[in-house]
Every structure is written in C-alpha cells, then in structure tokens.
Structure 1
Amino acid sequence: MGTTLPYWRLSFYYFFYFAFVGAFSPYFTLYLQSLQYPATDIAILMSLMQLMRVLSPNLWSWLSERLGMRLPIVRLSAAMSLAGFSIFFMTQAFSGIFVGMALMAFFWSAALPLVESVTFVHLGAQGHRYGSIRVWGSVGFIVAVLGLGLLLDHFAIDVVLWVTASILLGILVCGILVPEAKPSVSSHVTASFGATLRRPEVLALFGACFLMSAAHGALYVFYSILLVDHGYDKVVVGSLWSLGVLAEIGVFLVMPRVMRRYSLRTILLVAFACAVLRFATIGWGVGSMLVLILAQLLHGATFGAYHAAAIAAVNKWFPGRLQSSGQALYGSVSFGAGGMLGGLISGYTWDTIGSAWTFTLGSVFALAGFVWLALSWREHGPERTI
C-alpha cells in the first residue's frame, strides 16, 4: 500500500471496531432475552445505539474541527466505551443497563466518522483503495460472530460480556497506535456545507440512506432471536451472520472495478432493489435454510455495495474540510436515525403483527428509498466515482 500509508494499523482498527459489532449486535439481544426482558425493552435498549449515532458523531466531529484534533477524541471514545460497557458486569437491572448502554453508545459512536476521515486523508489520491482497508472490518465481524457463536454452545450466555469487553480493549489499543494525518494544504473547498446539502441528489442520498437503515432495523435487533425461536442453534445463527459478511467482503473487493463501470446511482438502486427482496424473504421464508442462505448472500448488495457507493458519494460531495462533517451526517442520518426508527418500530410490531410482517415492513422502507433515489437523483452525463 505504499510506505507512508499505515495500512495495518488502520486495518487492525477496523478489524476490532467491527468485531465489536459482530459480538454485540447478534448476541447481546440474546443476553438481554436471558434476563427475561420483553421485546419492547430489548428494542429500547438496542435503539440507544442508534440514538447516540444521531447525536454523537455530529457533536464530536464539530468538536474535533474546533480543537483541530481527531485521534485524541477517538482514543477517549474507546476508553469511555469500555468504561460504559463495564457497567453490564455490575447490574442486571434495566435502569443500570440503560445507563451503561447510553454511556457506551455515546462514546463508541463518536469514533468511526473521525477514523474514516483520517483513513481518507492517509489514502489521498488512492481513495479507491478504501475497500482493501475497510474489508478487515468485515473480517473482524466474521471472527467475532463465529467465535462467539461457538463459545455460546459451550459456555453460559454471560461469555458475551467478557468477549465484547476484550474487543473494546482491542479498539483502545489500536486507537492509540493509529497515527494522525494532516490534510493536503492544497485542498480547497468552494461550496459551503449547507449549499452542498441542499442539492437534490445529496438530499435524495441521505433520505434513502435513512430508509435503508430503517429497513435493516428488524434484522439487527431480532434476526438472531427469530432464528433461535425457529429451532436453529447458535452455531447456525453465527454461520448465517458470517455468510452475509462474507458476501459483503466479496463485494468490497470487487467494488473498485464495479465503480469504474457503473454510476453510484445505479449501484445504489440495485442495492435497494435487493433489500426489498431480502427482508420479505427472511420474514416469510425463515423455515427454509436455502431461503435464509440466499437472503444472507444479498447482504453483499444491501450493505456492501450500498455502503461503498454511499460513502464514495459522501467523500466526493463533501471534500476537504467538509469531509468529517459529511461523514458524521451520513452516519447520524442512516445508521443513527434510520436504524433507531427501524429498531423501535420492529420492537412494537414484533409482538403485535408478528415476525413475518415486521420484516416485510423492512421491504417497504427499502422500496420507499428506491423510489426516492430514482425520482430525485438525476444523472447528467457519465457519472463514475474514484
């Protein structure tokens, strides 16, 4: 990757950061279920992750720009995330877990937009190589989700806490090792943040990203519970999660070639169409392993291609000093607000209209995002990326 790019230090950061997601998202809901929490309480607790993704990235991005520092905030966020998570070892009460979740989520959500900004500055003109670094996050997710799934077949459910805490410690160590990067002095931005945001295609992207994350709400909160309730053991649960991320890895590796051939708009429309199909098939085909496998392979499109194209668009439309703010807004609107809405709605519909219709609602969100993109983002001539 070149002598000046700290490839492995960045890669290991992504590895541990998304290993946390691989341990926490599929299995922490099972831990909460073991404490006899109802679906609504589980949805409320898990939605704190999305709520903080709405509030935290923009606040910390603004603070980093004011203070001229990113990595000190990244390191602080890692330390405080671990401190918040440690509360789960001390109490099983809803109020205590609520406080721990809020504290952990507030600081954990601060890091990724800042690290993404540091990564793109290190990459410079080689932005198309982002996928070869980000792919290690997907590898970390798989290692965590498969490893913890195997452990849960031999150890009590609270092993989730110990493994996840160890991963958070790894994030802290990697955050200390990642070097700062200074933007090129030649970078010059003429458009303001507000003017860029008011462009129809930019509004369409953020609106569609909000809906795509809402579409994934039931998946991230209740997919593991759905599988266990239908008789699948935890190794199968971990394997299906991993299959989706393997598809994501494959897509990340081919995205540079795909992006040179197709426009970002086309890639995103295909991803949204795949999401419409994916969530309906999960909801109504959970009894078929073949259907579940095919649905998980679509994760390569509904997250891998979607995220790669979306973040490339944000990186292109919000250059230079606007980059951290653009990426923070992308995270807040999509993974934050959209994920929170999808998670909360699925928590209330799970016990009322059932799992099949809850996942079908995800397809409705994806269809709405497809329509918004198709109608509001007009291409003018060839539009390729990096």
Structure 2
Amino acid sequence: MPDRPFPYGPLASFYFFYFAFVGAFAPYWSLYLRSLGYVAAEIGLLMALPQVMRMLAPAAWGWLADATGRRVEILRLAALAALLSYAGVFFGASFAWMWLVMAAMSFFWSASLPLVEAITLSHLGPHAARYGRIRWWGSLGFILAVVGIGHLLDGAPIFWLLWILLALKLAVAASAVQVPDAPLRRRLEEATPLWRIVRRPEVGALLAACFFMAVAHGPYYVFFSIYLVDVGYTKGQVGWLWALGVICEIGVFFLMPRVASRYSGRAILLVSFGCAVLRFTLVAAFPAVPLLMLLAQSLHAATFGAYHAAAVAAFHRLFQGSHTAKGQALYTSVSFGAGGSLGSLLSGYLWEAAGPGITFTASAAAAALGGLLIAWRFPAER
C-alpha cells in the first residue's frame, strides 16, 4: 500500500454496503415490479432508469467534484439524497410514481461509485493494481445480500424487499460520512484538455467496447432472475447462482495484482469479452441445465471481475491529474449508463417479441462487438 495510512476500513464499509444494496436490488427488484402487475416492457423501462441516470449524472457529478476538489462532500450529499428519494417507494405503486421515484433515486445514487473509485485510486497511487484488495468487500456484500434475500423471499412476501433496501441505503449514507478524501496528484497530463483525451483512438475504442459490454449485460440484470424462476428454479437457487458469479469475481480481484503484472490490460480485456460471448450463449441455449448455468455464472469472474478491474485501471491511466473523477465518471456514463440503458430497454422489447433465447443471443453478439473493438484499436500499455 502507499506510504501514508490507507483508509481501509471506511472504504471497505462503503463498498460492502453499496454492493449489498446492488445485490438486493438487481436480482429481485424486477420480481417486485412484476408483483405489482407490470408487463415486461414496463419492467424494462423502469430497470433502465438507473442506467439512464448513470449515463447523464456521473459526468455532471464528476465535473463538479474535479472543479471544486470537494469529492467527499459531494459523495455524502448524494448518498443522503439517494436515501431520501428511495423512501418514495412506500408512498405509491403506480407506474408513473415508480418512474419518478426510481429516476430521482438513480440520479443521486449514480454519483457515489465513480467518486469512490476516484478517491480509492488516489489513495492507492502507484499501487492501482491492488484495487481488487479493497473492492472485494463490495463483492462480499453482494453475495451475502443476494443469497440471504433469495432464501428469505422463498418464504416471505416480496414487500419485505422494500424495507431491506431502505436499511441498506441508510448504511451506505452512514458509510459515506466516514470516507476520507485523498490529495489529487497534479501531473503534466492534466494540462491536456479533456476533449483531446477523449478523441484519442484508444480512448474511443475503450469507451465503445465498454458500452457494448454493458449492453450485453442489460438482459442479464433485468431478466435473469425472472428467466430462471420461469424455468423452474427457486428464488433461493437463483440467489446462489447470482452469488456464485460474485464469489468467482472475488477470486479474480485477489489475483489481479499477479495477473496484471504478467499480462497487459488489453489481453485481460480480450479474454473477458471472449468469456462474455460464451457466457451469454450458454444462458440463451441451456437455461434448464444447472451445470451449464453454474459454468455460465462462474464466467462472471471474467465478464465483470477481470473486465472491470482492467477497465478502471485503464481509465485511471488515461485520465490523470484534475481529470481523474471525470475519467471514472465517463466510464460509468458511457458503459453502465448508455450501454446499460440500451441493453435494459432493448431486452424488454426483445423479451416480448422474440423470447429469452434471442434476447441473450443478442447479448453474446454485443459482447463480440466489444471484443473486436479492443482487438482493433486498443493497444497494450507501453
């Protein structure tokens, strides 16, 4: 770790509760929405809102954070506002009301992770390859939430999910108060205008590839739980399948310093995109074969774990100095935001028009496009 004390506890707590919320929300919120009587297209529209806001909001939050240098204050404000806006789910269930509540919550929620990623990498300094050693706490939070809630919902009404999510939102806000900022490293690169960095061929290729990886995961985050329940899996089994992917992801996070020392970021990204093609092909063709679903979920280690660690490090390398938060915000906006939005929206319409098999086949095709972009224009680090 860097020479100065590394704030391991506060950052670990934030990652843990942030991704525990994701583990409670991503697999099960679509089931709650279906319990309200929404059709697939409406569920797709609502589940796309967090991605839409991740497309629009992080750039604004990141720009404000870099311009003012007050990253921690903005993080705390956004976490509190996300908690308060989420509470609206208890006051209505109409589609219009749910749309407003989810839009407001997502706008503030989308500020948190890019800011924490930038703060964490600033604390790590030249030891960015050790990012996974802190990020794994988020994966642990996700696992405990997704497994525990899956078993709980096998016997409890789906309405209990709302209270669990409220408690996790409160824990995230409390954790944000404890996160300390790190001094920005002023380097020569910060004199380069942001638009010139974005126009570099390798940056454009990386952004486009990350966009397609998020498109590929759109149907997974919206409909994977519904898909498995309809095939015959219990909610507890669905929770364990989600957890398996994140357990494998944790292993990758611990191995990343060793992997990154032996292989380039480009090589790691190429393998990750190839694994995504295989994963979604298996999900499309063999949902009722448990062993193949176990294999598909184990590939999450590459399609998210290795991919995300390599992408975060690449953006940190490409966006230096006063552009650090903007770089992470741009990654979030273009990939999880724009790509995730398109993937979620298309999945709702494809699901009804063509069925689950075609929907997940489209995911595999999107991942293949991303891999081709990395192979074509993204060079290995010099």
TM-score by length of 2: 0.97
Give the alignment of 1:1-386 within 5 angstroms: 4-184=5-185, 189-379=190-380, 383=381
Give the C-alpha shift of residue 185 in structure 1: 5.3
Query: For 1:336 and 1:375, how far apart are their aligned partners in 2?
Result: 24
1:128 maps to amino acid: A
| Kept in 1: contact 2:129–2:260 (CA 8 A) | no
Query: For 1:333 and 1:326, how far apart are their aligned partners in 2?
Result: 11
- For residues 190-237 of structure 1, give each alpha carbon's deviation from its aligned partner in whole angstroms, at most 9, with x where no partner exists: 433222211111111100000000000100000000011011101000
Query: For 1:339 and 1:3, how far apart are their aligned partners in 2?
Result: 37
RMSD of aligned alpha carbons: 1.3
Query: For 2:73 and 2:345, how far apart are their aligned partners in 1?
Result: 33
1:6 maps to amino acid: P
1:287 maps to amino acid: A
1:216 partner SS: helix
| Kept in 1: contact 2:130–2:256 (CA 8 A) | no
Q: Which runs of 5+ in 1 are unaligned?
A: none
1:309 partner SS: helix
Q: Which moved more, 1:176-185 or 1:225-234?
A: 176-185
Q: Which moved more, 1:269-278 or 1:114-123?
A: 114-123
TM-score by length of 1: 0.96
Give the C-alpha shift of residue 85 in structure 1: 1.1
1:179 partner SS: coil
Query: For 1:111 and 1:174, how far apart are their aligned partners in 2?
Result: 11
Give the C-alpha shift of residue 126 in structure 1: 2.1
Query: For 2:129 and 2:343, how far apart are their aligned partners in 1?
Result: 31
Query: For 1:209 and 1:95, how far apart are their aligned partners in 2?
Result: 31
Give the C-alpha shift of residue 3 in structure 1: 6.0
2:182 partner SS: coil
1:351 partner SS: helix
Query: For 1:44 and 1:323, how far apart are their aligned partners in 2?
Result: 31
Q: Which moved more, 1:1-10 or 1:334-343?
A: 1-10
Q: Which moved more, 1:291-300 or 1:113-122?
A: 113-122
Give the C-alpha shift of residue 127 in structure 1: 1.7
1:37 partner SS: coil
- For residues 283-302 of structure 1, give each alpha carbon's deviation from its aligned partner in whole angstroms, at most 9, with x where no partner exists: 11001000100000000000
How many pairs does the alignment contain?
A: 381
Query: For 1:375 and 1:317, how far apart are their aligned partners in 2?
Result: 18
Query: For 1:38 and 1:189, how far apart are their aligned partners in 2?
Result: 48
2:192 partner SS: coil
Relative to structure 1, the CA distance from residue 33 to residue 106 in structure 2 (aligned partners, 3 Å threshold; closer, same or farther) is: same
- For residues 323-380 of structure 1, give each alpha carbon's deviation from its aligned partner in whole angstroms, at most 9, with x where no partner exists: 111110000000000000011001001011100110000001011111111111244x
1:5 partner SS: coil
Give the C-alpha shift of residue 68 in structure 1: 2.5
Give the C-alpha shift of residue 77 in structure 1: 1.1
1:157 partner SS: coil
1:61 maps to amino acid: G
Poorly superposed stretches of 4+, deviation over 6 Å: none
Give the C-alpha shift of residue 261 in structure 1: 0.6
Query: For 2:91 and 2:190, how far apart are their aligned partners in 1?
Result: 49
The percentage of counterpart residues that share the same residue type is 50
2:292 maps to amino acid: V
Question: Which structure is higher in helix share?
Answer: 2
- For residues 64-115 of structure 1, give each alpha carbon's deviation from its aligned partner in whole angstroms, at most 9, with x where no partner exists: 2233211111111111111111111111111111111001000000111111
Query: For 1:196 and 1:184, how far apart are their aligned partners in 2?
Result: 18
